[in-house]
């Protein structure tokens, strides 16, 4: 017992020294960073993108991520490491992020962008390479330095990712310490100390990390939980919808927070839609098989890490499902309830798609609402339809930041080349989910803005102009 305080003290000292050194180096790098020069900033951002987009690096990091974490699959992670980075670079190179970024002479305003400081980027095990690069690109676009705080499971992948980024920064003449990573062994104590000492914390991943960031005393941006429900209505192109849902569901073995977790299908097309999903590669589980899947997916109330984010055959074999299920791309399980007594209504991080039957569109909306209120409020939902009135109803009535229409949800939600969302791996979910962010994380979240304010001709309306209509209706 007498030796315990010495052990605690040594750990505390290690944490304090490690974080102090990282932040000191980051601030020195920021001092040397040519963050007043947009061309040099864009060179640095491009260097980070190329360091991972480079084919051999994208493949290396994808393989390492799957080996380290056991989550997802290599081809999808290669796509993630390239497509997300390419799209993010496109977005970032199109905007100005230093000096004067906007002038409004009619209002007498000039806006100047400035760095927020040293950023802590907390990253999940599901994307141990793509998320660090994505956040680092946005941070450097704002003129900042960034320190990556990876999950313990993804630490070696994050370390290798940061090595590649630092090497490319050096090659292009930028301070390497603009990008750093927490030392091994990564711990809650290290991450917590980092969050308390930096200027901005940006968290993607577990809600525990988000809550810890919010209570760290540092300005923090966090994201909410995913649990995407998608409607197939009576007017949908069923073959197109099923192909997109399959491609989205199986991408990276459903590790994305934007992966479809539930489908709500209108009654009059229900069986045809199920048939289309089976045609696309799904396996329709029986009632008995459904219980086997539930018992396999959850152990003592927690998702079973031995089967989540794995190929469908892994789950099928452990659950004792037939060979036809093992050969399918994903499993279709039908349910009729939402909430704690219906675990299939929760986020599953697996190739299991829960399907609900709805009487009509109003019933479908209600089911989607209840799913989101149970898990995933604020995040997103989707619909496959030819009826644009239905899309507008969802946008008007549901508490979500994104309503994805006739698209593969995983590919669309975090930005796509055929929609207008910013490319990102961090989706804000608004105050519904306790987030300050109700958009896709982007470079604007990494800059401060100074407003130069000049006088303009007086813009003061008369009392009659402001109150006249009210006086006419209700009197003075």
Say if CB 261 and CB 353 are below 8 A apart.
yes
Round to whole Å and give the CA distance between 174 and 171: 8
Round to whole Å and give the CA distance between 236 and 226: 24
Q: What is the DSSP string of 70-139?
A: --S-HHHHHHIIIIIHHHHHHHHHTS--SEEEEEETTTTEEEEEEE--EEEEE--TTSTTHHHHHHHHHH
Query: In 3D, which of 346, 385, 349, 348 has the Cα closest to residue 364?
Result: 385
Kindly tell me the burial class for residue 203, based on how many C-beta atoms sit within 10 Å of its own C-beta (0-12, 13-18, 19 or more). Answer: buried
Say if CB 119 and CB 221 are below 8 A apart.
no
- Helix ranges (H only) for 215-253 are 238-250
Please confirm, yes or no, whether 257 is among the known catalytic residues: yes
β-partners of residue 109 are: 104, 453
Q: Give the strand pairing for 447-453 and 109-115.
A: antiparallel
Catalytic residue among 123, 167, 246, 257: 257
Separation in Å, CA 18 to CA 15, 106, 186: 5, 50, 11
Active site residues: 257
């Amino acid at each position: 017992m007498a030796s315990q305080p010495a052990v605690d003290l040594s750990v505390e000292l290690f944490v304090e020294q490690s974080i102090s050194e990282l932040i000191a180096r980051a601030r020195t790098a920021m001092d040397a960073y040519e963050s007043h020069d947009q061309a040099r900033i864009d060179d640095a951002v491009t260097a980070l993108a190329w360091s991972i987009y480079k084919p051999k690096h994208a493949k290396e990091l994808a393989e390492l991520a799957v080996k380290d974490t056991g989550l997802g699959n290599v081809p999808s992670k290669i796509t993630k490491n390239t497509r997300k980075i390419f799209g993010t670079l496109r977005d970032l190179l199109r905007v100005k992020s230093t000096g004067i970024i906007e002038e409004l002479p009619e209002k007498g305003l000039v806006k100047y962008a400035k760095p927020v400081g040293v950023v802590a980027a907390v990253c999940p095990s599901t994307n141990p390479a793509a998320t660090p690069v994505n956040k680092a690109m946005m941070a450097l676009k704002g003129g900042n330095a960034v320190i990556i705080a990876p999950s313990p499971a993804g630490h070696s992948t994050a370390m290798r990712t940061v090595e590649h980024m630092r090497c490319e920064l050096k090659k292009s003449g930028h301070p390497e310490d603009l990008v750093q990573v927490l030392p091994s062994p990564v711990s809650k104590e290290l991450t917590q100390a980092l969050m308390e000492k930096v200027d901005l914390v940006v968290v993607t991943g577990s809600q525990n990390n988000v809550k810890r960031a919010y209570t760290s005393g540092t300005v923090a941006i966090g994201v909410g939980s995913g649990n995407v429900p998608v409607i197939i209505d009576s007017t949908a192109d069923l073959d197109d919808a099923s192909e997109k849902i399959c491609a989205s569901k199986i991408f990276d073995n459903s590790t994305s927070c934007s992966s479809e977790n539930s489908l709500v299908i209108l009654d009059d097309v229900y069986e045809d839609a199920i048939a289309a999903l089976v045609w696309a590669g799904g396996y329709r589980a029986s009632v008995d098989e459904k219980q086997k899947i539930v018992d396999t997916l959850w152990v003592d109330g927690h998702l079973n890490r031995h089967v989540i984010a794995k190929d469908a055959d892994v789950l099928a074999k452990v659950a004792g499902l037939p060979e036809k299920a093992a050969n399918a791309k994903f499993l279709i399980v039908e349910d009729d309830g939402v909430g704690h007594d219906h675990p299939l209504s929760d986020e599953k991080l697996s190739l299991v798609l829960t399907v609900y039957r709805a009487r009509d569109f109003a019933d479908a909306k209600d089911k989607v609402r209840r799913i989101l209120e149970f898990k995933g409020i604020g995040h997103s939902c989707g619909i496959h339809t030819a009826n644009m009135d239905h899309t507008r109803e969802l946008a008007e009535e549901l508490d979500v930041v994104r309503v994805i229409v006739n698209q593969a949800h995983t590919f669309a939600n975090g930005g796509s080349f055929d929609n207008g969302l910013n490319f990102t791996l961090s989706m804000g979910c608004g105050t519904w989910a306790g987030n300050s962010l109700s958009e896709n994380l982007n470079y604007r979240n990494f800059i401060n803005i100074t407003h130069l304010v000049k006088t303009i001709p007086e813009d003061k309306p008369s009392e009659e102009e402001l109150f006249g209509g009210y006086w006419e209706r209700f009197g003075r």
